[in-house]
Amino acid sequence: MQVSRLGHMRWVVAAVLVVLSILGWAASGAAQDETPDAPDLPPNTPGITYGFTLVVSGLNQPVFVTHAGDARLFIVERAGVIRIFQNGSLLSTPFLNITSLVQSSGSEEGLLGLAFEPNYAQTGRFYVYYTNKNGDQTIARYNVSSNPNVADANSAVLILTIPHPGQSNHNGGWIGFGPDNNLYIGVGDGGGGGDPFCAAQNVNDLRGKLLRVNVIGQITYTVPSSNIFTATQRPEVFAIGLRNPWRASFDRATGDLYIGDVGQGAREEVNYAPAGLGAGVNYGWSKFEGTLPYTNNCPASGIPPRPPFADYGRSLGISVTGGYVYRGPSYPWLSGNYFYGDFGSGRVWSAWQTSPGVFSTAQIADTAYAISSFGEDVNGELYLVHYGGAVYRLTSTYAASPTATFTATPGPSPTPTRTPSTTPTPRASPTPMPTATPTRTPSPTPTCTPTPSPAPTLPGTLPPAAAFLPLIVQHSSAPSC
């Protein structure tokens, strides 16, 4: 699928959506608000620039990048291969190759997720999420071999298999360890369009959910007693009301949870739960798509739905990719800002909390990348995965403008290393990389054909008062992504 470009590079605020929680968790979150919640500067501060520096190319449909607690990057290729990037080189021997187990004929199928145990250096255990040859969601554990760069392909232990009959889309695919050392698993609603299985609001169905299980030290898993739905048929359920959660993350400094959830035909969305307050949340689908009501015959769970903190329409993108809160050492002015993007439009946004649980968002780049994922390295630097076969590292410069009128939120003033110039001075990358020449290549969601939309009519900048109003951009009918 050749994804049409949906707009021009514009260094303006593109969209703002702030929704106060109807459950009151925002207020309760204030009590635990700490310095790490406050970014040093809003991401659209004048003088901040952004770039994406090529780290590695030549990949085959990469869909994820992560680390194992050391300097290596582990890159997931959809067909079923995990590659290692180490000391500036992509190792020729895969860390793991399970293509014989993985079904990837459907564009959204494949090896989709990877997570290393928090104490991986001691245990050598890691987890993968893939669609098996029956099309079912499969979470399996593997061990590293005596060679730290090669996994033991014979060590597989099946942790969980979730039937996925009849459809190849909405496989979810994100797995990750939370600050509680439990494994979180993002599962799609079973596919098709409009939640045909009425799974997302059904607490007895693993589909359309974020699951939480304890795998550390277990043969398979146990269910944490703090899961809300332990009295139901599926106590693994942690949160409900998701359609196709495509990338989630925990803020490594605060433990806050962010979930990107791909929309049906109108709205892409990003959800938030403060640290320790995510259990039992209903993110709305399929009674809501983003902030819009969605009509079908599925029974509601009865749990009040929580709206996303950000959503956007078809003029800005077609398939959200959830990202990460930046906590790396290279660009301290970005600390606390959450970066996410859109697979189809290539746009990248950053969201920040103007007060606990209340967000503003700004577009920070309009790229040519098919953004299949973001990722973190061991230090907290952020990476963008381009499905066309490359991984880029987020870079930034900051040069305080003498005429800038922003007021920095609590955080350090610009350090002496920042050039006091009205012209941002590019900072040399610690590891010089060749200049990327992004090219659009076939994308993983041919089932999602974007409808070209008229140019967005968003205001360039919203006054502060508007920050509390949902900004409804125009949306057009489009097939399910």
476, two tokens: 């057009």
276, two tokens: 């320790």
Other Cβ atoms closer than 10 A to 240? 25
Measured in residues, the chain has a length of 481
Does residue 110 contact residue 82 with C-beta atoms inside 8 Å? no
Q: Please identify, using beta-carbon distances, which residue of 61 and 271 lies nearer to Ca ion.
A: 271
Q: E strands along 191-344, which residues?
A: 209-213, 237-240, 245-250, 257-261, 268-273, 288-289, 292-293, 310-312, 320-325, 338-342
Question: In the bound complex, what is the minimum distance in angstroms from residue 184's beta carbon to Ca ion?
Answer: 17
Q: Please identify, using beta-carbon distances, which residue of 50 and 283 lies nearer to Ca ion.
A: 283
CA 28/CA 17 separation, integer angstroms = 21
Q: Please identify, using beta-carbon distances, which residue of 177 and 309 lies nearer to Ca ion.
A: 309
Q: What are the φ/ψ torsions at residue 178 (nearest 5 degrees)?
A: -90, 175
Q: Please identify, using beta-carbon distances, which residue of 62 and 357 lies nearer to Ca ion.
A: 357
388, two tokens: 């066309």
Q: Please identify, using beta-carbon distances, which residue of 39 and 284 lies nearer to Ca ion.
A: 284
Question: In the bound complex, what is the minimum distance in angstroms from residue 39's beta carbon to Ca ion?
Answer: 25
Q: Please identify, using beta-carbon distances, which residue of 42 and 284 lies nearer to Ca ion.
A: 284
Question: In the bound complex, what is the minimum distance in angstroms from residue 252's beta carbon to Ca ion?
Answer: 24
Closest residue to Ca ion, judged by C-beta, is 284
Comparing C-alpha atoms, which of 58, 164, 148 is closest to residue 110?
164
CA 330/CA 398 separation, integer angstroms = 11
**From the CA atom positions of the chain, what is the Rg in Å?**
21
Q: Please identify, using beta-carbon distances, which residue of 299 and 412 lies nearer to Ca ion.
A: 299
To the nearest 10°, the Cα dihedral for 55, 328, 385, 190? 160
CA 316/CA 268 separation, integer angstroms = 9
Q: Please identify, using beta-carbon distances, which residue of 76 and 262 lies nearer to Ca ion.
A: 262
Question: In the bound complex, what is the minimum distance in angstroms from residue 179's beta carbon to Ca ion?
Answer: 23
Q: Please identify, using beta-carbon distances, which residue of 116 and 272 lies nearer to Ca ion.
A: 272
Return the H-helix or E-strand segment holding 28.
helix 25-31
Cis peptide before 286 (omega within 30 of 0): yes
Q: How far is CA 414 from CA 40, 400, 408, in A?
A: 9, 7, 10
**Which residues face 222 on adjacent strands?**
214
Question: In the bound complex, what is the minimum distance in angstroms from residue 170's beta carbon to Ca ion?
Answer: 14
CA 238/CA 206 separation, integer angstroms = 10
Question: In the bound complex, what is the minimum distance in angstroms from residue 138's beta carbon to Ca ion?
Answer: 25
Question: In the bound complex, what is the minimum distance in angstroms from residue 22's beta carbon to Ca ion?
Answer: 13
166, two tokens: 């009849």
Question: In the bound complex, what is the minimum distance in angstroms from residue 269's beta carbon to Ca ion?
Answer: 5
Residues making contact with Ca ion (CB under 5 A) = 283-285
Comparing C-alpha atoms, which of 1, 8, 57 is closest to residue 347?
8
Does residue 289 contact residue 201 with C-beta atoms inside 8 Å? no
Q: Please identify, using beta-carbon distances, which residue of 246 and 333 lies nearer to Ca ion.
A: 246
CA 17/CA 37 separation, integer angstroms = 18
Question: In the bound complex, what is the minimum distance in angstroms from residue 359's beta carbon to Ca ion?
Answer: 15
285, two tokens: 């689908």
Question: In the bound complex, what is the minimum distance in angstroms from residue 181's beta carbon to Ca ion?
Answer: 27
Q: Please identify, using beta-carbon distances, which residue of 285 and 374 lies nearer to Ca ion.
A: 285
Question: In the bound complex, what is the minimum distance in angstroms from residue 242's beta carbon to Ca ion?
Answer: 7
Other Cβ atoms closer than 10 A to 219? 9
